[in-house]
Amino acid sequence: MKRVPMLVLALSVAASALTLYGSGSTFVYPFVSAAAYYYQGARVTYQAVGSGAGIANLLNGITDFAASDVPMPKTEYAKLLFERTQVVHVPIVAGAVVVVYNLPELGDKPLRLDGEVLAGIYMGEIVYWDDPRIKALQEPDVASLLPHKPIIAVHRSDASGTTAVFTLYLAKSSAKWASEVGSHMVVSWPVDRAGRGVGAPKNQGVAAAVAKTPYSIGYVEYAYAVQARLPMAELKNAYGNFVRATPESVSAATKGAMEKWVCVLHAPYAFADALVLAPGEDAYPIVAAPYLVFFRDSQKLQALVGFVEFLLSDRAQEAAVKMGYAPLSAELRQELLKELKELLRYR
């Protein structure tokens, strides 16, 4: 049998090492899979299995990276730090959690809401659509149309990063919500105990429940509201302005969040917190940035950084907007690219 030269074997091993395996978030699957198709620096395969399963695959050594809508559980992160293993979280695009509603009387007139009122609704304390606290936020022509109908509050029935981000907005807006309910992927909804809460699985389920239930309200990721053609509320931001979710207002939040962190790659929890009620007159208040997560000591670090740099490029970010995402601000992307170069320099 003819022997294969060692140099050829070495090159074959190097070529196979340029395949990156990833899994995780279903929300960013269209973006990551499209980028993987066009990226020429390595072969990238990605499976949409959910954020939690993606993190588990990474931790178990099955994949090279995970994509997650929220940072990995703090307990796992702390355990890895204790073992002197650093995990890098790189935000790759931005998304908004929007409040959708079914109010036939309003037509195309926009509803205005803030975190305190939303907390009151989901606490079960604000019962009717014409409650004075809701009317006080509206323009006069909208306030006069609000009906005396019970509010049906729809929420996720499954563990959800969307729920974690939405309840963080409520917790930052309402001291009572913060102390009695908090912000988690799964919470105990007080409105359920009042008999006016409805649970539904996934973003699609919440959107469908709101669409078919008059006088209901719910929260979903922006793309699902667009697909279901549901009206989206204007929400009060950190500056007291009522803002609609648009690519521009979501991107503005990523820029504003830069004022509150030191190093994004190694401070994912502080950055995720800063994106909700981020500074900025035009910043949308409920924003999340899905992350690409990988180990700093990965043998494929160079290839991983190259793929992330492609995701952060103008070309990829512009394509993301067409898919229903919002771009990270140019300022944030510049800082991330700088931190990634430092990562390679001091690996």
Residue-wise pLDDT tens digits, 253-306: 988 887 766 567 778 888 899 999 999 999 999 999 999 999 999 999 999 999
Q: For residue 19, how many other CB atoms are within 10 A of its CB? A: 13
Query: Which region, left, alpha or beta, applies to residue 234 given φ > 0 means left and ψ of -120 to 50 means alpha?
Result: beta
pTM recorded for the entire structure: 0.83
Q: What is the pLDDT of residue 160?
A: 81
Task: Sketch the domain layout of the chain as residue ranges.
Answer: 6-93+290-345, 96-236
Torsion sign (Cα): 154, 157, 163, 167: positive
Place of tokens 């499976």: 47
Torsion sign (Cα): 234, 291, 259, 120: positive
Pick among 3.30.450.20, 3.20.20.10, 3.30.70.120, 3.40.190.10: CATH of 6-93+290-345: 3.40.190.10
Residue-wise pLDDT tens digits, 173-187: 999 999 999 998 889
Task: Check if the beta carbon of residue 317 is closer than 8 Å to that of residue 334.
Answer: no
Pick among 3.40.190.10, 3.20.20.210, 3.90.1150.10, 1.10.238.10: CATH of 96-236: 3.40.190.10
pLDDT value at 4 more than 60: no
What is the Cα gyration radius of the chain? 22
Residue-wise pLDDT tens digits, 130-146: 999 999 999 999 999 99
Taking residues 153-157, what's their average pLDDT? 95
Taking residues 101-121, what's their average pLDDT? 96
Amino acid at 287: V
Residue-wise pLDDT tens digits, 123-132: 999 999 999 9
Which pLDDT band, with edges at 50, 70 and 90, does 12 fall under?
very low
**Residue 94 DSSP SS3:** strand
Identical fold between 6-93+290-345 and 96-236: yes
Residue 312: DSSP 8-state: T
Task: Check if the beta carbon of residue 142 is closer than 8 Å to that of residue 111.
Answer: yes
